[in-house]
Structure 1
Amino acid sequence: MTPTTTDGPEIDVAAPCPSWIEALPDAEARGRAAALAAFAAARAAGRGAGLPAEASLVLADDALVQGLNRDYRGMDKPTNVLTFANLDGDGPAPGGAPVLLGDIVLAYETTAAEAAAQGKPLADHFSHLVVHGMLHLLGFDHTSAAQAEEMEGLEIRVLKGLGVADPYAEGAEGQ
């Protein structure tokens, strides 16, 4: 893993699936940028303010994601992104250690197939899924219409700042 530290959380990136780096040579930097932008937007919306934090981004394949999905969600199939949030604490970690936000795990084959089917650049879909995952780590959800409206609005603003088109616009395939 290669950590980075900026004005946001430290983002550790692991790429056990080499297809990510083959298809997106800048996947690690792009993933960090998307995660940090989502964190900054969430902080502006009142979440994650002032705490040193850390998260991991795992660039995996369908097999790994399918196993995690089966073991932790009871769904024996791959999916584009899984998040494992560690939302147990509200304050700083003991000894000044960063708050561990959790893990974002992306499946290469599913993500690439979705991007192709939706006519989107893989890089844009990847950025969207990382932003989506980071927002989940920070407590955003889309189980109700109001939650979905809030989360999707934040995703759209973050992605615009990253130069990525609105994934929910008419004619775009949604998540």
Structure 2
Amino acid sequence: MALPALSLSLQFGRFDGVARHRAALPRHRVTRWIRHALDIDGEITVRIVDADEGQQLNREFRGKDYATNVLTFDYAQAPIVMADLVLCAPVVAREAKENRKTLADHYAHLLVHGTLHAQGWDHETGDADADEMEAYEIEILAEMGIRSPYGK
């Protein structure tokens, strides 16, 4: 089965250690990770930001005053997926270290997770939805040879 087409804009803010994050996110890998999570063609911007920008966006759009790992801004789910995925580099790096995962594998998981959100998946609507989304993430990542981010 052919994967959906993807028009990708990959952006990096200016922050300490940006080179490490660029190295973990070559365009071909980011494209692959997102395409595996898409059900239909997509136009997606991925922006890697520092803690200040991540916190500001989370506060402004979700009313939560802290930097989170990934924010999804979805604009359309048909006829194509249109979304922005904003990932906070310091949070992603800290979580990868705490969970003994490579930075690249953690980014892969969060990009799959954000892409599913952009298509209407929501783990905050109940335990059954959370379990279903988690199982689908595990399946998508396994297709690409990435172990389960949930230790299962």
Gaps of 5+ in 1: 1-5, 93-98, 171-175
- Relative to the length of structure 1, the TM-score reads 0.76
Aligned length: 147
Q: Out of 48, 56, 60, which is 2:45 matched to?
A: 56
After superposition, the Cα gap between the structure-2 partners of 1:100 and 1:21, relative to the gap in structure 1 and judged at 3 Å, is farther
Superposed displacement of residue 55, structure 1: 1.1
Is the aligned partner of 1:128 residue 2:109? yes
**How far apart, CA to CA, are the structure 1 residues paired with 2:139 and 2:127?**
18
Give the corresponding residue for 1:95.
none
Backbone CA RMSD of aligned residues: 1.9
Provide TM-score, normalisation by structure 2.
Answer: 0.86
The 3 A distance-change label for structure 1 pair 100 and 60 is same
Show structure 1 runs of 4+ deviating over 6 A.
Answer: none
Q: Is the 8 A contact 1:81 1:133 kept in 2?
A: yes
Aligned equivalent of 1:139, options 104, 120, 126: 120
Aligned to 1:25: 23
What does residue 151 of structure 2 align with?
169
Matched, 1:105 2:86: yes
SS at 1:168's partner residue? coil
Provide the residue aligned with 2:8 in structure 1: 11
**Any unmatched runs of 5+ in structure 2?**
none
SS in structure 1 of the partner of residue 87 of structure 2: strand
Report the residue type matching 1:22 in the other structure: R
